[in-house]
Structure formats: C-alpha cells, structure tokens
Chain A
Amino acid sequence: MTTAAGDNGVLSDAIPLREIGWFERLLGPENYRIVTGLLKTPASILGFILIALFVIIALAAPVLAPPLTATGDPYKIPRDGFSSPPRPMGSEWKSRQPPLPFWWNAIFHTDKWFHILGTSEGQYDIYYGVIWGTRTAFRTGLIVTFTTFLIGVLVGSVSAYYGGAIDNILMRIVDVFLTLPFLLAALILAAVLVPKMGRSVIPSMIALIAFGWMGYARVIRGDILSIKERDYIMAAKVIGVKDGSILFRHIIPNAIFPTLVLASLAIGDVTLSFAALSFLGIGVDVGYADWGQVLSFARNWITSLNTYWYIIVWPGLTLVLFVMGWNLVGDALRDVLDPRMRGKS
C-alpha cells in the first residue's frame, strides 16, 4: 500500500490510497483517464480489434497475395488478360498468374490460382487489390495525418503563444483554407499537381495535407491559450527562459495530448478522402492497389450491378470496416474528452 508522506499511516489506514501503476505515472492522471476510458466500452474494443486486424493484413500482404514478380511494383494489381466485363468469384486465373502463396493448397486443395473475389473491369484481381489496398490505406493515412498534425501544431502553437496580430493573421488564413469544401479543394489541388508530378499517390497526399491541417491548429491553439496562463509559464518567463524553449519545452508537451489523440484517430477519415479522390479518377493510376481506385471500376457497370455485385461489395465492405474501426474508437474518445461527461463513467 502506498502511504502519503507525513501522515504516519493514520490517514491511509482510514482511507486506503489508490495504487498508481507505472503506466499512470508515465502518462499523468488526465491522460491516463483518457487511455483507460478508451478501453472500457465494447464498441471501442471492437474498433481496436478491427484496426488490429487491418494492421495484420497490411503486414502480411506479401504472404496473403504475393506480387507478380519479386522486383516489380507490388502496388500494381496483376491482371488476367485485358477483356472488359468483370468475371465472377472463383473463376480460373488464365494468364500471368502470380506465384501461389504457401497456404493456398492447404485451404483450397488445388494448385491453381483462381480469383477469390472475382475480377473487375479490365481483369484486375479484386482480392489482390483489397489486400494491398490495406497497405496503401495505412501508408497514405499515416503520412498525411502525421504531416497535417505537424503543420497544425506549428501554426496553432505559434498563433496561440504570440497572440495579437500574428494570431489574427494566422487564424484568418485558417478561415480562408476552411472556406472551400474540403473535398473540392483537395480535388482542385490534386488536378493542378498531377500534370506536374505524374500519376501517383503523391499529388492526392499533398492535396489532403494542404487542406487538412486547420482542425489541429484550432484545437491546439485553444489548449495552449489555457496553459499559457498557468503560473509555471509565468515563472519560466520571469527567470528569463527564451520564447522558443518556453513554447517547445514547457507549453507544447503539456498541451499536445488531445490533439495527438485526435490526429491518431483521423487516419480513417484521411483514408476515406484519399479513396474518394481515387474513386473520382484523380491521383493514382488505373490498376493501382487502392480501395477507391478498385471501386471506381464499378462506375461503368451501374446498369448491371445485379450481376457484378462483387465489384463493389468486397472493396466497399473493406473500406467500411476500416473506417468503422477508427470511428468506433473516435466515438469513445469524444465521450472521454467531453468535459460534460467527466466523472460519469
């Protein structure tokens, strides 16, 4: 039992003190409350399970769906011929089969590749696109989120710390960037960048970064404004600590946690926006392993989706489950961070 110093055990005998584990010490009481709150509800646990599942799929992609050649770009979905109409699930893989994964025979009892989830227009294998699309989702999601987070924190903290005219100017810039609808703005910037940079994941990612940082800037600005008024900051100023080190060593570490959690859960949304851009035909090349790109093949087959249902259901379901995983956790997070909910759990 932990004893508070100086009470000779009298008080702690009357009211047993709560054990404080190393984890709580590491995070601090407020952040610890947030983390444990996230692991309490069944919904958020389901969310974490979904996310973990996708992490495993992404890591195991070369085992689940081996690329055509060891040296080529694994994100190019292998095609079985070039004919237009999609082919149903389980149909035979006729030409240019990728190497068989080792588990294939054990599960399907055959030495032949077939299209597990069918092919989409142009004979792109849907199963391969879904598996490697998971890697695209994490890659783009992580990079975009991390970069937007950095920009947002930089702008928001400079704005809040200096205040006055700088704050005013930076916040008006935030307003301007928020004026255009997010997807339209990203669409435009991607369309401007593609002729300069060629078709790849990069133009869409830059577009999502350029119009995605404003939320973080606003959140961290609010948190810093409240921390700035604390006594220890005043003390640091009085003993002559430089502006930069007050901001980066004393203020930001204490203000950053809510923004950090917010950012870590935005990966689902970022993936969704990226898939939306690919779906609209901007950014990645045709045949790139990205869920939105795989779904965009369906746009030419709207009238016969009753026959070709598998070209939307499988990539669609994957995307929905991925986003739902992040949303379930995010929903729990909102409850934990909401000051009105504090102490109710």
Chain B
Amino acid sequence: MVTYVIRRLLLMPVLLFGVTILIFGMLQFLSPVERTALYVRDVPKNANALDGIIRQYGLDKPLYVQYYKWLTGTINPATGERVGGILFGDFGYSRTASEPVADIIKQRFPNTVDLALWTVAPLILVGIWMGVQAAVHQNGFIDQAARIFSIVGTSFPTFVFGLLVLMIFYANLKWLPPGRLSDWANSVVLSSNFHHYTSLLTIDSLLNGRFDIFWDALKHMILPIITLSYISWATFVRVTRSSMLETLRQDYVTTARAKGLPESAVVNKHARPNAMIPVVTLAGFQVVGLLGGVVITETVFNYPGIGSAAAVAAAQLDVITVLGFAIFNGMILILANLAVDVMYAYIDPRVRLS
C-alpha cells in the first residue's frame, strides 16, 4: 500500500507539469498584447506604454522564460509586490467581467461545491440501495426499471433534459425556478446581518437559523440536482448491481448461507461491504466530476457556479478567464483523483495489505 501511494504521489508533479504545459501551449495562440491581461487590468491605448508592459512582464522573451514567469509571476521592483504567477493563485484579469479571475473563482466555486454536495449525497444513498435491491432481486421490477432508465437516460443530452424539466416545472407549473436565490432572499443574504461562516449558502442559512432562505436556495437547486444525477444514478445502480451479483456468487457467501445465517445478514454484513469497493471509487470520481464544474447544467439553469462562468467567458472569447478556470480545475482534479486513488487503496484489502 505504501509503495502504491508513493508511486501515485510521484505521478502528481508529472501531471501538474503536463497540465500547465498544455494550458500554456493554448495561451500561445494569443498575441502578446492579449496576454497582457495576465498581469494588468486594462490594456493601455498608448503604444509606448503597451511596449513597456510587454517588456516588463517578459512577454517578448523566449518561451521557457515566459513559462517560468507565468508560473511564478514578476516581482515589481518598486513596490516588491508579486504580479501574476498562477502558482500563487493569480490567474490574471478577466476582460469581460473586468475583475481578477481569482475573484470570480472565489465567488463562484462555493456555489459549485454546494450543488455538488446536494447532488452526491442522495445519489449515493439511493443509487446504492437500488443497486443492492436490483442484485438481490435479479430481473425484478427495480432491476428492469434501472436497465431501461439507463439506456434512455444516457441518450438524453443534459441540455435537452434540462430545458425539458425547465419547461415542465418552471414555465408550466411555476414550481421550481432557475437561478440561485429569489430576490428577497438575495437581499437578506447580502445584508450585514447574514454571517457567511462557510460560504456554502445552504449551510450558512441553516447556521443563521434562516430556514426560509435554506428552502429557497434548495428550491433553486432541485432541477439542477435532478439533471446532474439522472445519468449518474443509472450508472450507480448498474455498477452496484453487477459488483453485488459477483460477490453474492463467491464461496464465502455460500458458506455464510450454509451455516444458517439469515439472508439479511448474509447480504448486509457479508456481501455488501466487499461489493462496495468499486462503488466507492465510482462515487469518488462522481464527486470529482461535479467539482470540475458542470458547464452545461449550470448554464441551462443559469446557476452561478464556475461551470457557467467558464461557458460565458468562452462564448465571449475571453480566453484568459477560461484558461484560469482550466488551471484551477486541473489542480483540483489532480488532487481529488489522488484522494480517490488513496481511498481506494485503503478500502480494498487486496491493495492495502500488499
């Protein structure tokens, strides 16, 4: 297990290096003038001043110098302040939103996390329960329903599904609105009485004791949650089912039955824990995928997470902003994947004890 984790840790810098090179490569499609947005808020009109900026931040230097400066930034000799440097969390300025890209991420990422949390918890619980049921009662109702659902579900593009549920539950029934909060709730959240403990809106509203705001936030999230989970839900049921079926065929399960244990104990105590190993990995990757920003779902529902911000910036061809999101995402995904792999090694006794 230790060698496995060490090997995995050694891979991480390689991946980080590769992803930064990849994104730096895409950055080279921009002209030096466009790349000044990495370091300054406004491009000066004056050609001399522009030249000065390009020279100051080394945008005319060879590529490896530019790459180094892009990673670590430039220290301003007059003030001693660092400007730029993605390793220090400075991703440059968004031309379209006219604010630092890092600030946009800081505002929007908690919303994405909030959505991911509320999506994953019910998904895992219900998905695992149904998967176990489908395996125990093979070819029963839940099994068949899950099979049909998974074929139809995977054929439904998220944006078509999202628009359809919006049509039904918002335009027709007026039950569940898109967006993040109603206007009244938004003004309460922005007021000084509302404390931002975690910057996750649902948890903050509970901590503030404002159940009405909690309910309002949740109401805006129900449709995105459904849209995000309908495909994953089918996958979950299928993976749990096949893993459970395989475990139930093992000799030790037969032994447990033969010594007269009740069926519920056989399923819940003996078979299920071992059947969960691949499911846990799948769950980990689901969370990682959701944290990566769910571009389409957030855009369809006008939900202010990093996914929709990336889509808006890309549609306006604001490349610096989109690349900023990409770096942030890449780093989060590399760390999260590492966490999932280590967790997997810990859960699976075959890896843990090797």
Interface residues of A, Cβ cutoff 8 Å to B: 43, 172-173, 175-177, 179-181, 183-185, 187-196, 268, 272, 275-276, 279-282, 292, 295, 298-299, 302-307, 309, 312-313, 316, 319-320, 323-324, 327-328, 331
Contact = CB atoms under 8 A, between A and B. Distances in A.
B333 A306 contact: no
Contact of B26 (A172, A179, A189, A323): A189
Nearest to A192: B29
Interface in B278-304: 289, 292-293, 295-296, 299-300, 302
Contacts of A328: 151
Given A280-B299, A302-B166, A302-B171, A327 B30 contact: no
Given A196-B29, A275-B157, A304-B171, A179 B333 contact: yes
B273 interface: no
A243 B23 CA distance: 35
A316 B164 contact: yes
A251 B155 CA distance: 35
Interface residues of B, number: 54
Interface in B297-349: 299-300, 302, 307, 310-311, 313-315, 317-319, 322-323, 325-326, 329-330, 333-334, 337
Contacts of A268: 155
Contact of A192 (B152, B164, B293, B319): B319
B15 A327 contact: no
Contact of B296 (A43, A183, A194, A302): A183
Contact of A181 (B19, B171, B289, B334): B289
Given A183-B296, A276-B296, A295-B159, 11 more contacts: A175-B14, A179-B337, A180-B326, A181-B333, A188-B319, A191-B315, A299-B299, A305-B171, A305-B172, A320-B160, A328-B151
B160 A312 contact: yes
Contacts of A175: 11, 14-15, 18
B163 interface: yes
Nearest to A269: B154
A180 B329 contact: yes
Given A179-B333, A181-B333, A320 B157 contact: yes
Nearest to B167: A305
A184 B171 contact: no
B146 to A, nearest CB: 13
B157 A191 contact: no
Interface in B52-96: none
A309 B160 CA distance: 12
B152 to A, nearest CB: 7
A191 B15 contact: no
A190 B329 contact: no
A306 B167 contact: yes
B163 A305 contact: yes
Contacts of A181: 289, 292-293, 295, 329, 333
B29 A306 contact: no
B22 interface: yes
B325 A184 contact: yes
Nearest to B31: A195
Given A187-B322, A282-B315, A312-B160, A180 B18 contact: no
A303 B330 contact: no
Given A319-B160, A324-B151, A193 B329 contact: no
Nearest to B323: A188
Contacts of B289: 181
Nearest to B299: A280
B178 interface: yes
A46 B263 CA distance: 40
Contacts of B167: 305-306, 309, 312
A194 B26 CA distance: 12
Given A181-B289, A181-B292, A302-B170, A280 B26 contact: no
B129 interface: no
Interface in B219-262: none
A303 B171 contact: yes
A187 B315 CA distance: 9
A324 to B, nearest CB: 4
In the A-B complex, the 3 residue pairs with the smallest Cβ-Cβ separation, listed nearest first, are A176-B18, A324-B155, A281-B315
Nearest to B163: A312
A184 B293 contact: yes
A323 to B, nearest CB: 5
A135 to B, nearest CB: 19
B152 A276 contact: no
Contact of B326 (A176, A185, A275, A306): A185
A282 to B, nearest CB: 5
